[in-house]
Amino acid sequence: MPNVAVIGAQWGDEGKGKVVDWLASRAEIVVRFQGGHNAGHTLVVGNETYKLSLLPSGVVRGKLGVIGNGVVLDPQALLAEIARVTAQGLSVGPDNLRIAENVPLILPLHPALDRAREAARGERKIGTTGRGIGPAYEDKVARRAIRLCDLAEPETLSAKLDELLLHHNTLLQGLGAETFTKDALLAELLDLAPRLLPFAEPVWERLDIARASGARILFEGAQAVMLDVDHGTYPFVTSSNTVAATAASGAGIGPSAIGTVLGIAKAYTTRVGSGPFPTELDDATGQLLGDRGREFGTVTGRRRRCGWFDAVMVRQAVKVGGIEGLALTKLDVLDGLPELKVCVGYRLGERTVKHLPAAAGAQAAVTPVYETMEGWSGSTRGARSWAELPAQAIKYVRRIEELVEAPVVLLSTSPERDDTILMKDPFAG
């Protein structure tokens, strides 16, 4: 059976946590391959709710979790998350969590720089979480990052901190923010070393062995395609590539090992933070979607902006993200609405366009072209088979398939892990 990569097909918060948790029951290993603790997955298991940011969702299922080199890792955030889920009854240790030895670390100076820059932008802020993700990725590509393996070499670590502080303290001072001292950072990292190094290994080797033995691997993406640093609504994006191709470089495997690519999309659209949102609803319907869907960011706590399903955007995500099938979530939120709208194109001046433009000005200027569909009066909540769905709900799902040019292979009808309709097993290829 092939492996599966799960990515978001909108702007994140599509319900990837539940879907990954559901799929993890069929996998042996779950791998996080990009992003940092700016991503959040909420898993509802019976009466327990787990909020994960760094830990692969498979830990809730008792599977081996892997944090790949494509992630930027905040050591304090990871240890705090492990302590939190341990208090909820889960066991997380080096036996069921492995971390790439070459993963870059987020240090206290990264969120400090992140927040200082955002404050300096004023009204032009881009909505960063302020957790240091962007500055940490900058250090990675500038070849000055502190990586997990460096904690085992105090002399190397000391020299690398000199270079890092030369860069960051200059920026922080220019922004009027507090600077950092080498001694304090070095002491903190040396204190963290014995707690983190037992998790470290060349995970590419473990994944290669697992793949050769026929083990099923689930690659868990964070954020979503339209937040991809190349393909998203730039500059209102995250600082990493979120498309499925990143699973290869972010975990240390060949592209042929990624397997089936499953995209997650809500039956409507949401977005947290700033940036363009063509189908956003600033009315009672938008408020209703937010209230019913409990639309608050797992990480930020901010209320999500809500709007109609944008088939143009999801079709674009399908194409650039390599998505072969969709998992459609939160269909039940639309129950009882007399009519539904689906965006089938954009108007840009006098032109109709079938994709979201790359330029920021054009992105902000597009207006949606809608197709109106009849709603349904029955309930979809908790449905576990097509036979339980109202006919008009099935028609809505089928129309989405046509517009985005990808089949819906999994349908989620509530936050509960078993309220799921499976049309095709992603692990079956």
Global pTM value:
0.92
pLDDT-derived band at 57, boundaries 50, 70, 90: confident
Which of the residue ranges 41-45, 49-53, 65-69, 321-325 would you say has the lowest mean pLDDT?
41-45
Quote the CA–CA distance of 344 and 355 in Å, as a whole number.
10
**pLDDT of the residue at 302:** 66
CA dihedral 70, 75, 76, 81 (to 10 degrees): 60
pLDDT-derived band at 119, boundaries 50, 70, 90: confident
**pLDDT of the residue at 297:** 64
Q: How does DSSP classify residue 304?
A: P
Q: At what angle do helices 75-87 and 182-196 cross, to 10 degrees?
A: 40
**Which of 57-66, 91-100, 109-118 is predicted most confidently?**
91-100
Q: What percent of the chain has pLDDT over 70?
A: 98
CA dihedral 186, 53, 20, 337 (to 10 degrees): -160
420 Cβ neighbours under 8 A, 6+ residues apart: 22, 384, 410, 411, 412, 413
Q: pLDDT for 237-284, tens place per residue?
A: 999 999 999 999 999 999 999 999 999 999 999 998 889 999 999 999
Q: Which two tokens stand for residue 374?
A: 């009849």
Name the residue with tokens 């955030």. Answer: 77
Q: What is the mean pLDDT of residues 29-42?
A: 87
**pLDDT of the residue at 301:** 61
Quote the CA–CA distance of 350 and 360 in Å, as a whole number.
18
Q: pLDDT for 280-296, tens place per residue?
A: 999 999 999 999 988 87
List active site positions: 13, 41
Quote the CA–CA distance of 117 and 175 in Å, as a whole number.
7
Which of the residue ranges 131-135, 148-152, 372-376 would you say has the lowest mean pLDDT?
131-135
**pLDDT of the residue at 300:** 58
Q: Domains in the chain, ordered, with CATH?
A: 4-101+200-260 (3.40.440.10), 109-196 (1.10.300.10), 266-428 (3.90.170.10)
Q: pLDDT for 308-363, tens place per residue?
A: 999 999 999 999 999 999 999 999 999 999 999 999 999 999 999 999 999 999 99
137: enclosing H helix or E strand: helix 133-141
Position 1 pLDDT exceeds 60? no
**pLDDT of the residue at 299:** 59
Sign of CA dihedral 309, 230, 102, 165: negative
CA 312 from chain center: how many Å? 20
Q: pLDDT for 158-200, tens place per residue?
A: 999 999 999 999 999 999 999 999 999 999 999 999 999 999 9
Query: How far lies 372's CA from each of 343, 344, 403, in Å?
Result: 9, 10, 13
